[in-house]
Chain A
Amino acid sequence: MSLLEVRDLRVSFGRRRVQAVRGVDFDLDDGQRLGLIGESGSGKTVTALAVMGLLPENATVTGSVRLRGSEIVGAPEVALAQLRGAAVSMVFQEPMTALDPTMRVGRQVAEVLRLHQGEESGPARERVVSMLAEVGLADPVRIADAYPHQLSGGQRQRAILAMALINSPDLVVCDEPTTALDVTVQALVLQKLNEVLTDSGAACLFISHDLAVVSQVCDKVLVMLDGQVVETGTVAELFTNPQHPYTRGLVATARFDQTRPGQRLPTVEDFYAPDTSVGGRP
């Protein structure tokens, strides 16, 4: 049994039942890292939210998402709250909105620990400080006592990473975790993410529009287009020998360095013409 089994997942929104995800299947094994790539509106974030059981109330979900065999789709909120933060956790794009601005960072990380393990504040504090050190924060005691606005973007995102990993989850879902960061900070956060995932053995579902970033973190990649998976493969297969015309287009546009400066860059349309008759695209 895989850690995560997604079968014929369909998500639609609102009264008009616009389908954002249209029949997605995939498996994720323990310790495996799966990248989800595609452009905005392709359904990658909605898929991730469905895995977390975090979709808003106006979403209609059918199909199945099983985490260690237990069904997420249709599960009561109480059961989901038990899973989230313990068995599965999430890292979002914008660290400032994921942190409470009025609470010291250490307390926020400790809260996650206490909610799921009910420890007293003494040992929790030690765990928090050592977790902050593990994600590469040089001065973990000072960081624990700081408020989010006193930290840099990279420090905040690593604090979030500490929060996501402190309960040793089986699965960490990352949605564009480094998109809001500067390149040098992104490189550092990705390196730390790789290290902590390797150390903890957690599996990762990693969403990004940046193929290069995905290739540095993941073993396998799913390409999404209009709510469907159009191609799956290992990082090496997909980036060296893409099969679907859309994937070929994506890979070509990501390989900037292969076009001489000033020359025309390849576009996705050179490889793939969207089929407007299906109605997936506006």
Chain B
Amino acid sequence: MTEPLYRAEQLTRRYRNGGTEVLALDHVDLTIEPGRRLGIVGESGSGKSTLVRLLAGLDRPTSGRIWFEGTEITDLPERRLGFLRAAVQMVFQDPRSSLNPRMRVGDIITEPLRSRLVRRQLPDGIDHARRLAEVLDAVDLPTDSGGRYPHEFSGGQRQRIAIARALAPKPEILIADEPVSALDVSVRAQVLNLLTDLVAAQGLTLIVVSHDLMVVRHLCDQLAVMRQGRIIEQGDTETVYSRPGAEYTRALLAAIPRIRTAG
């Protein structure tokens, strides 16, 4: 049996918020196999973003353990996380806040390549200009975009810039946290099509966090439903959609607004 990409055991994360303690993640077990497309759905406060931040090594669990490709990363110091930083890239919800407005798009996209930690994991002499051209092409942005600033682009284009930056260090895993929630319906479909194509073309493992069950259904073959810090149901996407086991999953599915054309 091959080693899973990620293995998490009893992951727990508590925060102190003023005087009260918040249990954001409550003893979560999770295994992610390479090449899968996992969707994590839940409402605000369900712990879905906390979970992926732990997977990406952006935050540390209060208790529990995480392995990435067989190596335990739970307590690894930042200086030894280079392999994780190169292999796992994230795309966030709002490209207005995730892109530095004072940097040129070319510098934004190649920034991961200049990171001291990531650089050591990459093949020597990777040509930044060439990689920039490659990823701009992959996300369908004009070749001259590198010299411009984020504000010169529309919302959908800015999310393409964020995706291009994530692709630059040739990651194995792309984690997208609400990748289309801040976008207009009219550009949402374009960005979803782009993600679908990229994941297939580059053989990426995809983890998508969303409150939108239709988005997750479209992108992912596996689904985990979270509530109050726990995974309450997981399985093959179509199975969970057609035969939800948990009462809460049924409520979530029933609440999706549908186009009503009668009366």
Instruction: Say which residue of A40, A184, A250, A282 sits within 8 Å of B251 (CB atoms).
Output: A184
A235 to B261, CA, bound (A): 6
What 0/1 pattern do residues 165 to 184 of A give for CB contact below 8 A with B? 00000000000000000111
Within 8 A of B (CB), among A195-222: 209-213, 215-216
Q: Is A262 an interface residue (CB 8 A)?
A: yes
Taking each of B211, B214, B218, B259, which has the highest tally of chain A beta carbons within 10 Å of its own beta carbon?
Answer: B259
Residue contact B184 to A209, C-beta cutoff 8 Å = yes
Residue contact A253 to B255, C-beta cutoff 8 Å = no
Instruction: Say which residue of B44, B190, B213, B261 sits within 8 Å of A240 (CB atoms).
Output: B261
A3 to B43, CA, bound (A): 39
Q: Is B122 an interface residue (CB 8 A)?
A: no
What 0/1 pattern do residues 201 to 231 of B give for CB contact below 8 A with A? 0000000000111100111000000000000
A277 to B255, CA, bound (A): 42
Within 8 A of A (CB), among B99-155: 154-155
Taking A209-B184, A211-B259, A261-B218 as given, write out 16 further A-B residue pairs in contact, using a Cβ cutoff of 8 Å, ordered by the A residue number. A183-B211, A210-B185, A213-B257, A215-B260, A236-B261, A236-B262, A249-B186, A253-B185, A254-B185, A255-B259, A256-B214, A257-B214, A257-B258, A261-B219, A264-B196, A265-B218
Residue contact B218 to A40, C-beta cutoff 8 Å = no
The interface size of chain B toward A, counting residues with CB under 8 Å, comes to 34
Q: What are the residues of chain A within 8 A of B238 when measuring CB–CB?
A: 261
A256 to B219, CA, bound (A): 12
A199 to B140, CA, bound (A): 51
Q: Is A2 an interface residue (CB 8 A)?
A: no
* Known contacts A187-B255, A215-B260, A261-B218; A267/B186 CB under 8 A: yes
Q: What are the residues of chain A within 8 A of B255 when measuring CB–CB?
A: 183-184, 186-187
Q: What are the residues of chain A within 8 A of B213 when measuring CB–CB?
A: 183
Residue contact A215 to B261, C-beta cutoff 8 Å = yes
* Known contacts A210-B185, A250-B185, A267-B190; A262/B257 CB under 8 A: no
A39 to B212, CA, bound (A): 19
Q: What are the residues of chain B within 8 A of A250 when measuring CB–CB?
A: 185-186
A190 to B254, CA, bound (A): 14
A216 to B263, CA, bound (A): 10
What 0/1 pattern do residues 68 to 108 of A give for CB contact below 8 A with B? 00000000000000000000000000000000000000000
Within 8 A of B (CB), among A216-263: 216, 235-236, 239-240, 249-250, 253-257, 259, 261-262
Residue contact A254 to B193, C-beta cutoff 8 Å = no
* Known contacts A253-B189, A266-B189; A39/B261 CB under 8 A: no
Within 8 A of A (CB), among B232-253: 237-238, 251-252
A91 to B167, CA, bound (A): 41
What 0/1 pattern do residues 30 to 66 of A give for CB contact below 8 A with B? 0000000001100000000000000000000000000
Q: Is B58 an interface residue (CB 8 A)?
A: no
Q: Is A268 an interface residue (CB 8 A)?
A: yes
